[in-house]
A and B are shown apart, each in its own frame.
Chain A
Amino acid sequence: MEKVKKTAHILEKIMRTIFTVCGFFAAVLVVVITVFLLISGIPAIKEIGIVDFLFGKVWASTADDPSYGILPFILTSVYGTLGAVLIGVPTGIMCAVFLSETKKGIFGNIVRKTVDLLSGIPSVVYGLVGMIIIVPAVREVFGLPDGANLFSAIIVLAVMILPSVISVSETALRAVPKEYKEASLALGATKTETVFGITIPAARSGIITSVILGVGRAIGEAMAVMMVSGNVPNMPGLFESVRFLTTAVASEMAYSSGLQREALFSVALVLFAFIMLINLILNFAVKKKGK
């Protein structure tokens, strides 16, 4: 009897240790990823010089006299994300308002189902459709020699951020207490005025969270934009073929070597810095909501 108790006790201790290790695994992973990116990213930045690297306007990694300036990539990622947010967020929030107000009804259900479907589509599929439909359409409509440019990428990204913007905003809108709306209605505001004057401002922090999530998704997307943005390291213009931070890494990694390869890791480090910044802002936004 005593023996049974002892082995059970030991087992309990072992399991506690195992679970503790599992628990801290996520934290360890974040540290490992950060360290690996720093170790592999910093040497090239040092060799190129941080100012030349971050603010250099020319990326010519395979030229005889190579030049590694990533300002075009940074600006492209920023503009692309901004453009996607400008188109995707208002549409997404409007759709979220629609969904949170029409609780029942066939049309509401159809819209909800189709948004779910949209969120399940893999990013390469978005890229494929962008290549076949949006790129030729942009070329025809604007009379350009090539439709693979920043504008096409913005359209694809705007569609891709819709599902997360809609679902997070809808949850936030639904969480607004009924009393707020009733007070507004009782004061004589119409239903529409209540939604836009009371419900949306009350759900502000949740909606902001959805926007930040959308920004994170847009800035980190690689495959879909690679297929529609033309992939040329130009300074960004709406109808220029451009290269994003993500696609810079993806397009040259396979055949790179030496300093070029190290510089690609540095590009990834810059992208990682952007993402961490977004995470911190997100954390801050969520905390503020709790207060």
Chain B
Amino acid sequence: MLARGRAILVVEDETLIRRTIADYLRDAGYTVVESASAAEAIARFKSLQQVDAVFTDVQLPGGMDGLMLALWIRDHHPSVPVLVTSGKGDVAVTSGLIAKEAFFAKPYKPDAVVKRIRSLVGK
């Protein structure tokens, strides 16, 4: 059975990058919701019935970055896994906010992200 219906929220302000990972996830059978900022993500998050996983960049426009978004999700939706990507090293990991296996350093391989999401939420 295809997993279309598993909803993945992709948060990335760079349109082409967001589009690329979104396409990969869609090709893998997921429903993808795209957001360009943390505020937009939270709004989308609230409006959706179900979000199964989140893939977010750390650096986002506005007052809330990807790590703050991850903390918000941990507080409000603790069962939703959050994967994080950044070009600024692995501060998120060394600070203990994000598990090593949930971090993808830029430039990342979209296949690896899809594989990780599949391991977390299934197909």
Same complex: no
Q: Which residues of B contact A (CB under 8 A)?
A: none
